[in-house]
Structure 1
Amino acid sequence: MEYIEAPHTYSKSSDRKAVFLAGGITNCPDWQSEITNLLNDQDVTLLNPRRKDFPINDPKASEVQINWEFENLRNADLILFWFPKESICPIALYELGAWCMASTPVLIGVHPEYERRIDIEVQTSLVRPEVEIVYSVQDLARQVTVWAKRGRDMPEGVKCSPAVECESPAVHSYLSLLQAVINRMASNSAGCKSWCITVVSGLVVLLLKEKANYILIATAPVILFCFLDCYYLAMEKLFRRRYNGFVKKLHSGDVSRSDLFVISPEKEISSSMIIGSFRSASIYLFYCALAAVVVAIWCVSL
């Protein structure tokens, strides 16, 4: 991480992304130091307008500060705002309004007890609906991490949700839900085989007594249950892909809240996927063998 503090000059000489720390400075905690520590391992440049020693007695210091902020807000690839509860931060509100109307990506964090929290939430939802407001400096830092990995521009309609911890109860619940769906698909597949044997056996016994020449009719449920079995196996594979993809993203730290509780296959199931499932040994060996038995009984009964 590169750190630039006002009034030092920032010159963009590398591909490292620049993040401007907009938000409260006067009469509020030094949240800039906290987020700097949280982002210490990220490949970004932090532009911090908060000086450790502001020359309050220098009449030109304020003008230099304003010019520095003006210039580096325009140099930044990302502008993040934090509104603490201790101050209304009128300048930060002014800057937020201006940059929400621009194209530069913004991230917004608001303390839950900030006096104008509702105003920021409503106004942001109207102007920048893709921005997800967070309520802690830690979550704001996680958003920066996600943004840095995704690229300079936030895709339209995609929220930069805070990253999700591996040990989060939500993660365990989501994985349990996916596993339950996978187990359900496997159970349905096993049920197809059980019901197929039952139905085919009943038909064969019935037809042997009444009309042995029509025993081949018993192959119809074999085909039907084979198709259903292929369908459930294809669905199981799709949910397994979603499960494995989520775990992979979790290990790489790319999972966000928007990834949680998506209970749907990885993609739409297609006829080619269903037909492709027939190549599974658990399907073609079982149903081909069962169909062969029916044909053999028919031949013997002639």
Structure 2
Amino acid sequence: MTENNTSIDINSQAVHLHLKMHQDIIKRMALNSLFIKTCCISLLFLFLFITTNVTLSGFTCLLLTMAFATIDTMYLALERGFRASYNNFVNKLHSNTLQKEDLFILAPERISFWDTAKSFSVCLFYVAPLCFYVFISYIAPPYITRFFYYSW
């Protein structure tokens, strides 16, 4: 009777393919996060400079920022989960405890959404557009109108 739980060779082609698949997923999550941030900035500034109603544009900018921050947090949590899964796989590989059943399981580890939301890449990035909006909408207008009034 042969044993199903045999150790895997570190130089196996299946191991390399499994690691490459993990790396590709992690890269895809990072690129999705970058795309979300780019769309957020583009749409916010486009919407901010097109609209004239300060109250409506402020509320809409707040909703857009919160929606993009939520999606970005989800992608960051998935990326961290896949990184943890990748690290667990590599640790098993180096400790010679990797089994055939561990190959090609591409499920992310569970990462808390709220812990991810508190990360610098989410908090600092999405607070900046809101601060800029408050500055442009409420602090800067008296100075901007004075500048244009006296310059003509």
Normalising by structure 2, what TM-score? 0.85
Deviation of the 1:266 alpha carbon:
2.1
| Within-5 A mapping of 1:1-302 | 108-109=1-2, 143=3, 160-208=4-52, 211-216=53-58, 217-267=60-110, 273-299=112-138, 300-301=140-141
Q: Which residue identity does 1:259 align to in structure 2?
A: D
Deviation of the 1:212 alpha carbon:
3.0
> 1:153 aligns to what?
none
What is the distance in 1 between the residues matched to 2:61 and 2:79?
Answer: 28
What is the distance in 2 between the residues matched to 1:178 and 1:213?
Answer: 45
SS in 2 for 1:261: coil
Deviation of the 1:264 alpha carbon:
1.4
Q: 1:259-291 deviations in whole A, cap 9, x for unaligned?
A: 000111124x5xxx1121122112111111111
What is the distance in 2 between the residues matched to 1:253 and 1:212?
Answer: 62
Q: What RMSD in Å do the two structures reach over aligned CA positions?
A: 1.5
Deviation of the 1:205 alpha carbon:
1.2
- Number of residue equivalences: 140
Deviation of the 1:215 alpha carbon:
2.4
Q: Is the 8 A contact 1:200 1:218 kept in 2?
A: yes
Percentage of identical aligned residues: 32
Computing the radius of gyration over CA atoms, which structure comes out larger, 1 or 2?
1
What is the distance in 2 between the residues matched to 1:212 and 1:255?
Answer: 59
Q: Is the 8 A contact 1:188 1:232 kept in 2?
A: yes
Q: Which residue identity does 1:222 align to in structure 2?
A: T
What is the distance in 2 between the residues matched to 1:253 and 1:262?
Answer: 18
Unaligned runs of 5+ in 1: 1-107, 110-142, 144-159
Q: Which residue identity does 1:212 align to in structure 2?
A: V
Report which structure shows greater RCO (CA 8 Å, sep ≥6). 2
Normalising by structure 1, what TM-score? 0.44
SS in 1 for 2:51: helix
- Name the CA shift for 1:215/1:296 in 2 (closer, same or farther; >3 Å): farther
Deviation of the 1:301 alpha carbon:
4.3
- Whose helix fraction is larger, Structure 1's or Structure 2's? 2
Q: 1:113-151 deviations in whole A, cap 9, x for unaligned?
A: xxxxxxxxxxxxxxxxxxxxxxxxxxxxxx4xxxxxxxx
Q: 1:76-96 deviations in whole A, cap 9, x for unaligned?
A: xxxxxxxxxxxxxxxxxxxxx
What is the distance in 1 between the residues matched to 2:141 and 2:27?
Answer: 41
What is the distance in 2 between the residues matched to 1:243 and 1:214?
Answer: 45
Q: Is the 8 A contact 1:164 1:256 kept in 2?
A: yes
